[in-house]
Every structure is written in C-alpha cells, then in structure tokens.
C-alpha cells in the first residue's frame, strides 16, 4: 500500500485519481480549496479531504507526512484576477509550490498534469505558466513526471458544454479524425486520471505526451 496525495482531489480529474487509489486499497489524501466534493459515491468516505489554499502551505504541509506520491491536478481554464485566479498563479505557481513542499517532505514521485496545447480562446499565459512549472519541477530531487494531455472531456467537465463534450468524445473515438488531431486529440477523464495514477505509482518517463498517456492508461 502507498500513501497518495492528490492536489485538487475534489476537481474534475483529481476525483477520479482519488477513486482509483481507494479502489486499489491505498491511503488517499486530497488537498483542495473546496475540500470534500458534493458527490454521492461511497468511495469518498475513504479519502482524507482537506480544504486549504495551496498558496498557504503552512495550512496543509502536514498532509505530506509519509506520502509516497503526489498527483497535482490543480489548474484553471478561466481567470478572475480580482480573486487572485490567473494562469500564472494557478497553472504555474501552484504546481511549483506543491512540488517544493513535496520535495521537502521526502516524497518519492510527483506527477504534474500539464497540457499539450492552449485552448483557442485563452491567453498564451495558460500554456507558458504550465511550461514554466514543468521546468522548475524537473530540477527537484524527486521523480517528477509531466503529463501533457489534449482537451480532457467527461460528463462532469465544468468548462465544456454537453455538446462540446459529445463532440470531443466522437472525435476521440474515430481513428481517422483522432489521428489527424495530434496534440489536440481529446482524451477522456478516465484516461487522463488512469495515466496520472499509474505514473505516480511507477514513474518511468519524465514527460508523457498524448500518445504516451493513452498507452499508459490502457
């Protein structure tokens, strides 16, 4: 059994990573702004949920004690600067802070859910912040792995409409279309979470692109 901490464990991808860990009998902890998610699922009782601000590590640092692996799934597709929600902070600084704390705590592996591409309507800072975090994390004294999925779809995706989710599902399932999309190839939340979870338990490559993520998740 390993002890797994999921940053953003109450979020879209993080919830699925937590579920997988519970399914396999691991100790699972989550740190996120909202704490325990409002979903009706029995596995949530087996996760240790912590509501904390990632930018105040003194409030959640103790949750890293005896942790073997961290999956960082915190990120945003939209900004609210007046609330401190910017791509630079949420997609970049949050990952760096979490990784530094993990290194200090002696965590063995750290998985960062980055992105292969920038959504069409977002500022370039969406992607440059993630790349900055990737570079910083790679220099730390732990097994750091970056996952770069394309658009991640699923029924609970908070940023995509039902129609967009359906379109992504079709595009992903039709090989002639999916193969031509390359880095823009959509993947399901199940695939993204499975790859992050398995990589956290057995880190190998330092960087996984869309094709690698799909291979690991199979």
150-198 residue pLDDT tens? 999 998 888 888 888 888 999 898 888 888 999 999 999 999 999 999 9
Alpha-carbon distance of 88 to 94, in angstroms, equals 9
43-91, pLDDT tens digit by residue?
999 999 999 999 999 999 999 999 999 999 999 999 999 999 999 999 9
Assign 49 to helix, strand or coil: strand
pLDDT for 157: 86
Residue 211: per-residue pLDDT: 94
Distance CA 206, CA 138 (A): 8
pLDDT at residue 161 in the model = 85
The total number of residues written for the chain in this structure: 218
**Which stretch of 23-37, 87-101, 151-165, 194-208 has the lowest confidence by average pLDDT?**
151-165
Structural domains in the chain, sorted by start? 3-217 (3.40.50.720)
Q: Cite the DSSP H helix spans in 43-161.
A: 87, 94-105, 125-138
Residue 91 is predicted with a pLDDT of: 98
Nearest CA to 100 among 131, 54, 146, 149? 54
CB crowding 186-211: b at 16 or more within 10 Å, else e? bbbbebbbbbbbbbbbebeeeebbbe
Whole-number Å distance between alpha carbons of 39 and 3: 23
For residue 121, pLDDT over 90 is answered with no
Q: Which pLDDT score, from 0 to 100, does residue 159 have? A: 82
How far, in Å, CA of 98 to CA of 92, rounded?
10
**Three-state DSSP state, 146:** strand
Give bridge partners of residue 208 from the DSSP assignment.
147
- What percent of the chain is predicted at pLDDT more than 70? 100
Token pair for residue 58? 């003194």
Average predicted confidence (pLDDT) for the chain: 95
Task: Tell me how far apart the alpha carbons of residues 208 and 39 are, in angstroms, rounded to a whole number.
Answer: 30
pTM for the full predicted model: 0.95
Say what the pLDDT of residue 119 is.
Answer: 87
Strands 143-147 and 109-113: parallel
- Of 14-23, 35-44, 99-108, 128-137, the one with minimum mean pLDDT is 35-44
């Amino acid at each position: 059994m390993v002890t797994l901490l999921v940053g953003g464990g109450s979020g879209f991808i993080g919830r699925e990573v937590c579920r997988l860990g519970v399914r396999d009998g691991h100790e699972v902890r989550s740190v996120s702004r909202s704490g325990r998610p409002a979903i009706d699922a029995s596995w949530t009782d087996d996760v240790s949920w912590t509501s904390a601000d990632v930018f105040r590590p003194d409030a959640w640092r103790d949750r890293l004690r005896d942790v073997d692996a961290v999956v960082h799934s915190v990120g945003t597709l939209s900004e609210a600067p007046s609330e401190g929600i910017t791509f630079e902070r949420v997609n970049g600084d949050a990952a760096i802070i979490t990784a530094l704390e993990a290194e200090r705590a002696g965590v063995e592996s750290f998985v960062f859910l980055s992105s292969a591409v920038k959504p069409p309507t977002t500022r370039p800072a969406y992607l440059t912040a993630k790349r900055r975090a990737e570079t910083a994390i790679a220099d730390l004294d732990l097994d750091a792995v970056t996952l770069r999925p394309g658009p991640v779809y699923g029924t609970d995706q908070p940023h995509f409409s039902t129609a967009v989710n359906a379109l992504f599902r079709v595009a992903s399932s039709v090989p002639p279309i999916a193969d031509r999309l390359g880095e823009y190839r959509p993947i399901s939340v199940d695939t993204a979470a499975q790859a992050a979870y398995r990589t956290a338990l057995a880190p190998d490559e330092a960087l996984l692109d869309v094709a690698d993520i799909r291979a690991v998740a199979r």
